[in-house]
């Protein structure tokens, strides 16, 4: 059943199923994303979480912050955990062995939703093979990547999501280096190429866009990948109160474009139609420099000898925005 959320006031009637007094940093965007995802539906939710900030801080002995069924598993296999939950649920439903309370909800049309949360480390690097496998097998679940572009839980090491020029503990900026040397991996396209029926990129500051995409994902039959921008006060080094502003700057400068890719497949699994929709177009595209200036992890780029990296950033962002627009126009 799709929950009706017309505006923010209606959305605020939701009863949170994620509890306070967890140990996430003040101003952490992970929490905002988790809240928005869980509140997008009133149906029962089963959550699997990979190791990472979210797991470590919401299940500290002897307490839990989850009011939904919750499973913690290794760093690398959140996708497999969610996939097996989904497979087990399908079998139990077929055999009529669901618990009475669940069965009642299923009869009312409130199917349980299965969601996996993982950080960018558990998605882009460590969890990639299991994620790829689960998507290839086509289980019915949603995978949400909380992308803060760094291994924040273990002290800020670079991941393959870290963008060029960022200073991290394993790619520190200094007199000989401008920080991270590699460009960011384009995970959304990679997951779309698995043939997943629905793949989207979201930002917590655009809550309505996020909720709409999550609801669409819940309705789809098959694996769904959501890439969520998660501003990190500790590793991006901005002030806690600026989380939403930094997220907005990312969206408005097109560093973090909001779009979705819908694949339609026939019964043999052959993709016969792919569509890319840009769901948010900034009224005025701001220069990337403003996004970078808001985060002290890029502070060194403003030195004269590193200025060329900012130009490179702008070029890369413009090229990507151009590419997305061309794809949307061509309907591929």
Partner 1 sequence: MAKDLKEIKDIEEIKELGWDELLPGAALFSFREPVEDVAEIPMEERPYAPTNSHEWQVGDWRVEKPVYNRDYCIDCQFCWVFCPDMSILSRDKKMIGVVYEHCKGCGICVEVCPTNPKSLLMFPEHMDNQEALAMWPKKEEKK
- Which residues are at the interface with partner 1 (CB under 8 A)? 8-32, 35-36, 41-44, 58, 60-68, 101, 105, 204-205, 207, 233, 239-245
Choice between 29 and 187, CB closer to partner 1? 29
> Toward partner 1, which CB reaches closer, 76 or 248?
248
DSSP H or E segment with residue 167: none
Measured from the CB of residue 230, what is the shortest distance to partner 1 in angstroms?
A: 11
For 96, phi and psi rounded to 5 degrees? 70, 30
Distance of CA 79 to the CA centre of its chain: 13
**CA distances in angstroms from 37 to 34, 144, 208, 211, 306, listed in the order given:** 5, 9, 11, 7, 39
Sign of the Cα pseudo-torsion (66, 67, 72, 78, in order): negative
Question: Which residue number, 10 or 136, has a Cβ lying nearer to partner 1?
Answer: 10
Closer by beta carbon to partner 1, 128 or else 280:
280
Kindly tell me which of 15 and 221 has the beta carbon lying closer to partner 1.
15
- Least gap, CB of 43 to partner 1 (angstroms): 8
Query: Least separation, in Å, of the C-beta of 137 and partner 1?
Result: 30
- What is the closest distance, in whole angstroms, from the C-beta atom of residue 166 to partner 1 in the complex? 22
Nearby residues of 186 by Cβ (< 8 Å), 6 or more positions away: none
Nearby residues of 163 by Cβ (< 8 Å), 6 or more positions away: 149, 180, 183, 184, 313
Please state the closest distance from residue 19 (CB atom) to partner 1, in A.
4
CB of 202 to partner 1, least distance (A): 14
Q: What is the DSSP string of 91-148?
A: HHHHHT-S-HHHHHHHHTT-PPEEEEEEESIIIIITTHHHHHHHHHHT-S-EEEEEE-
Closer residue to partner 1, CB minimum distance, 27 or 179 = 27
């Amino acid at each position: 059943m799709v929950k009706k959320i017309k505006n923010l006031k209606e959305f605020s009637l939701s009863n949170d199923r994620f509890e306070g007094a967890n140990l996430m940093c003040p101003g952490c965007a992970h929490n905002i994303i988790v809240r928005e995802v869980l509140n997008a539906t009133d149906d029962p939710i089963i959550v699997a979480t990979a190791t990472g900030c979210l797991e470590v801080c919401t299940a500290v002995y002897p307490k839990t912050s989850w009011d939904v069924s919750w499973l913690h598993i290794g760093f690398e296999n959140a996708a497999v955990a969610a996939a097996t939950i989904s497979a087990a649920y399908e079998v139990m439903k077929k055999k009529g062995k669901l618990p009475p309370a669940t069965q009642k909800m299923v009869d009312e049309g409130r199917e349980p939703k299965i969601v996996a949360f993982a950080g960018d480390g558990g998605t882009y690097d460590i969890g990639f093979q299991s994620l790829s496998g689960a998507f290839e097998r086509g289980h019915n679940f949603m995978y949400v990547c909380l992308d803060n572009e760094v291994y924040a839980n273990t002290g800020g090491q670079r991941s393959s999501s870290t963008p060029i020029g960022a200073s991290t503990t394993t790619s520190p900026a200094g007199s000989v280096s401008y920080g991270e040397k590699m460009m960011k991996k384009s995970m959304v396209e990679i997951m779309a190429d698995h043939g997943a029926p629905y793949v989207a990129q979201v930002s917590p500051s655009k809550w309505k866009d996020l909720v709409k995409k999550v609801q669409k994902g819940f309705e789809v039959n098959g694996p769904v990948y959501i890439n969520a921008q998660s501003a990190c006060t500790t590793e991006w080094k901005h002030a806690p109160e600026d989380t939403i502003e930094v997220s907005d700057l990312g969206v408005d400068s097109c560093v973090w474009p909001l779009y979705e890719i819908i694949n339609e497949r026939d019964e043999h699994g052959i993709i016969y139609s792919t569509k890319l929709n840009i769901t948010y177009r900034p009224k005025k595209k701001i220069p990337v420099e403003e996004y970078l200036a808001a985060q002290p992890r890029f502070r060194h780029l403003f030195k004269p000898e590193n200025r060329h990296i900012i130009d490179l950033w702008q070029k890369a962002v413009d090229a990507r925005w151009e590419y997305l627009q061309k794809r949307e126009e061509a309907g591929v």
